[in-house]
Amino acid sequence: MSTVTESVDVHVPLHTAYNQWTQFESFPNFMGGVESVTQIDATHNHWVVNVAGARREFDTEITEQHPDERVAWKSTSGDTRHAGVVTFHRLGDTDTRVTIQLDWEPEGLVENVGDAVGADGRQVKKDAKAFKEFIEQRGLETGGWRGNVDTPGARPDTRR
């Protein structure tokens, strides 16, 4: 299992950074290799990615979500095994630290070589910087979901 952790400070309020991160379908705007993310329901998404010529599709489930604090997920199907968490830390009224941690199981020669030379870590760093640019240029989130999810398979709190 490989792990990457990256933090970026964004010049927007905590709720703005958090709300934008919950808009999964906007991820192709700032994540390299992500072709599309389709939100199936409040806790499930379908991803299509193309990294180094390898096109993959997989599903994810939100396993924990607490407004203005964290979003955690894991893959549930497809040929990509991974999990992650993004946490949000208030630095001031208009500044937030976003920390991304990803755990995954590289498969095949290309993914194992990429992992060995740190390509995945560089991509996460690049994506974090792109998220910063995306949200700071907009100044406002494109939407937001403020529900809570506490355990895998639990029914989410859909109050907004």
Using pLDDT thresholds of 50, 70 and 90, give the confidence band for residue 157. very low
Does 41 have pLDDT greater than 90?
Answer: yes
CB distance 151 to 66 below 8 Å:
no
We report the CATH number of the domain holding residue 113 as 3.30.530.20
Asked whether residue 144 is domain-assigned, the answer is no
Query: How far is residue 82's CA from residue 91's CA, in Å, rounded to a whole number?
Result: 29
Asked whether residue 77 is domain-assigned, the answer is yes
Asked whether residue 17 is domain-assigned, the answer is yes
Using pLDDT thresholds of 50, 70 and 90, give the confidence band for residue 97. very high
Asked whether residue 151 is domain-assigned, the answer is no
Tally the domains of the chain.
1
Asked whether residue 150 is domain-assigned, the answer is no
Domain of residue 97 covers 2-138
Q: What is the mean pLDDT of residues 72-86?
A: 89
Q: Which residues contact 55 (CB under 8 A, 6 or more apart)?
A: 35, 48, 49
Asked whether residue 101 is domain-assigned, the answer is yes
Q: Which residue has the tokens 């941690």?
A: 101
Does 93 have pLDDT greater than 60?
Answer: yes
